[in-house]
Every structure is written in structure tokens, then in C-alpha cells.
Structure 1
Amino acid sequence: MNITSKEVKKIIGEVVSKTVDELLQQKLIKKKDMNTYQKTEQLLYNYNNFKEVVKDKQEMIEQIKQVGLSKTSCSVIPMPQDNGFRETQTESEKITSKIAALESSISLTKNYIKIIDNALKTIQDDPYYMVIEKCYFEGKKHSAVANEWFTPIDETTIGRNKNRLVKKLSIYLFSDDVIRELYS
């Protein structure tokens, strides 16, 4: 099966759009008219959090498999339903349903992580790639990154190259939006 680069770009665009929608739903990013640069920064700042969420959900699945679902209090009396009879799930069905929802969420988040990883691969050979890791993944300030650099370097150089690389990533992650921004 041969996939053209045009088809790959279309698939990436669709997946990125779904990624952003999911991130908005999970309130990991806000929609306050962010431009593509800001969206890219939000993805980078939250990259490690996405990986932690996957681990946490995998642990939740293991816990459910071992001890079942946590019990809810029975002290509240349920109100009768207006719609007649209601089918109740067995404990086994509730467990299966919860695990399926968690697995679906894990799969979605892993896909988003993979998209970000693929975007990062496009810049990994850049001599200033480490700036992305230090600023976004380790949360360091430009001055700290400049001080840790192999040879003495100015923090404005760090900032300039960070901005350049984020713009490059934003084109990969949000190509359609970048074009809209340029032509609007």
C-alpha cells in the first residue's frame, strides 16, 4: 500500500485537529483565540503531562482489574425515573465499560504523543534542539539554558532559536492553521 505525501499530510492534519479538540475537552489547552505558535507551546509544555496521564490511566486499569471499581455510597436514595424501567449494568459490565473507556483515552493520548514525537523528529538535528527540551520539558528559563550551553551563549540567542524552532513545529503540527494565519 503506497501512501502519497499529500495523503500523509491530510491524515496528519486530521489527527492534529482531533488532538486539539481532545486537549480542549480535557482543558489541557484553552481556546482563547490562540495562534498556532501558542498552541504549539501549549502542546510542548504539556508533553510530559500527556505521558504521565497515560501511565496513570494504565495504573487505574490495573487497579480496577485487581480490586474492582470503587464503591459509591448507598446513603442517597435514588429518585424514580420518569422514563420507566432502567436497565442496570452488572458489576462485570461496569468494569468492562470503565476499562474500555480508559483504554480508548490512553490510545487517543498515545496518538497525540506520537504526533508530537514525529514533529520533534523534524527538528532534532538542529543545533539548538536542546533549547526545546530545556525550556518546555524541563521548564528552564532562557538564562539557565544559556548558562548550561556548551560554550558561552547569550540568552537572546536561546530565545531567538526557541522561537524559530517552535514556528517550525507549528507548521508541522498546524499546517492548515498556519496558512490561514498567513492569508488572513
Structure 2
Amino acid sequence: MNITSKEVKKIIDETVSKTVDELLQQKLIKKKDMNTYQKTEQLLYNYNAFKEVVKDKQEMIEQIENYGLPNISNSVIPMPQDTGYKVTVSEEEKEKSKIAALESSIALTKNYIKIIDNALKTIQDDPYYEVIEKCYFEGKKHSVVANEWLTPIDETTIGRNKNRLVKKLSIYLFSDDVIRELYT
């Protein structure tokens, strides 16, 4: 069975929508009404989770390829007024469709990871770059990072430089929004 581009787009849209809903439910991302600084922080806090999601979805694809889709209960009984014709989709078609949706979601997530990686490269030579890694990727508090510094420094220095670097990243990640924020 050939899948049309319209069907592929629909699968992609549904996958993206479900992924965003999942991330919202798990509080890995928040609803809009965030400024660019807050959006950048959310991306940084969730950076490692995005990489894990890719691995999990790749494992799901392997499971489907090796064992098929999990069996779903057939306990739903059609209602008597249901007289329409139903298109039955083969298990192979269902598997292909699910794999295509997962692959689409993986590609989208990998693209966002790449965008974040490219933004991080723009600040990697900064003497305080390590603050971003420790605070966002390792989840450490400013005081811990300050005490771990080669020559211990004040935690306000950590906070100030973290904020400075996040602002730089936000310009790279959300340049149009930053401009809008400045002029509205």
C-alpha cells in the first residue's frame, strides 16, 4: 500500500500534536505565554529528555519490527445503529503507519536537538559555558556550581553569567520573538 503525501502529513501532524501533548502532561514543556528567556530555559532543562525520547522511540520501532504492535483488547462492541462500512486495515499496514509516525517524530526531535546543539556551539568558548551544562543538564544549584568552580566564586556570579548566556542562546533560538519582545 502506498501512503500519499497528504496521509504522511496527517501522520506527522498527529504525531507532533501527540508529542507536544505528552510533553505538556509530563510537564517537560509548558504552555505558551512564556518569554524567549523562559522558552530557552525550558529547552535547556529538557535537552537530555529529548535525547532519551529519541532512544525510546527507536526502541519502540525495533519492538514493532520484531514483535508487531501490542495486542489491543477487542472488548468494544459495535453499536446497533452503526451501519456504515468500515475499512479494515491489515496489521502490516498498521505497523507501517505506526513506524512512519515514530520515525517522523524522531526526525522532528532530532532536528530540535540539532538546533539546540548549534546554539550551544555559539557560546561554548565562553569562560562560563560550564554553568549552562551544570545548571541545566546536570540540574545543579548555583551554590553547588559556585563551590565546584576551579577557584570558588560567588553564586551571584554564577547566576549572572547563566542569565547572560541564556539571553545569548535565546537570541539564537528565538530571534524573531526576541525582536518582537523588544518592540512591543
Regarding TM over 0.5, the answer is: yes
Normalising by the smaller structure, the TM-score range is: 0.7 to 0.9
Superposition deviation, residue 86 in structure 1: 1.4
Write the distance in 2 (CA, Å) between the matches of 1:83 and 1:124: 63
Residues 97-133 of structure 1 show CA distances to partners (whole Å, capped at 9, x for unaligned) of 0000000000000000000000000000000000000
Write the distance in 2 (CA, Å) between the matches of 1:92 and 1:24: 27
The letter of the residue matching 1:60 is: M
Name the Cα RMSD after superposition: 1.7
| Residue range with higher mean Cα deviation, 73-82 or 44-53 | 73-82
1:38 aligns with 2:38: yes
Residue 66 of structure 1 is matched in structure 2 by 66
Structure 1 residues 24 and 64, CA gap change in structure 2 (3 angstroms): closer
Q: Which has the higher contact order (CA 8 A, sep 6+)?
A: 1
Write the distance in 2 (CA, Å) between the matches of 1:169 and 1:159: 15
Residue 177 of structure 1 is matched in structure 2 by 177
Write the distance in 1 (CA, Å) between the matches of 2:102 and 2:163: 36
Runs of 4+ that moved beyond 6 A: none
Write the distance in 1 (CA, Å) between the matches of 2:83 and 2:139: 52
Structure 1 residues 24 and 102, CA gap change in structure 2 (3 angstroms): closer
Superposition deviation, residue 78 in structure 1: 2.6
Residue 168 of structure 2 is matched in structure 1 by 168
The letter of the residue matching 1:40 is: T
**TM alignment of 1:1-184, pairs within 5 A:** 24-25=20-21, 26-27=23-24, 28-79=28-79, 82=82, 84-184=84-184
Any gaps of 5 or more consecutive residues in structure 2?
1-15
Superposition deviation, residue 178 in structure 1: 0.5
Superposition deviation, residue 79 in structure 1: 2.9
TM-score with structure 1 setting the length:
0.84
Secondary structure, counterpart of 1:160 in structure 2: helix
- Between Structure 1 and Structure 2, how many residues are aligned? 164
Superposition deviation, residue 77 in structure 1: 1.2
Q: Percent identity?
A: 82
Structure 1 residues 163 and 80, CA gap change in structure 2 (3 angstroms): farther
Superposition deviation, residue 29 in structure 1: 2.0
Superposition deviation, residue 30 in structure 1: 1.9
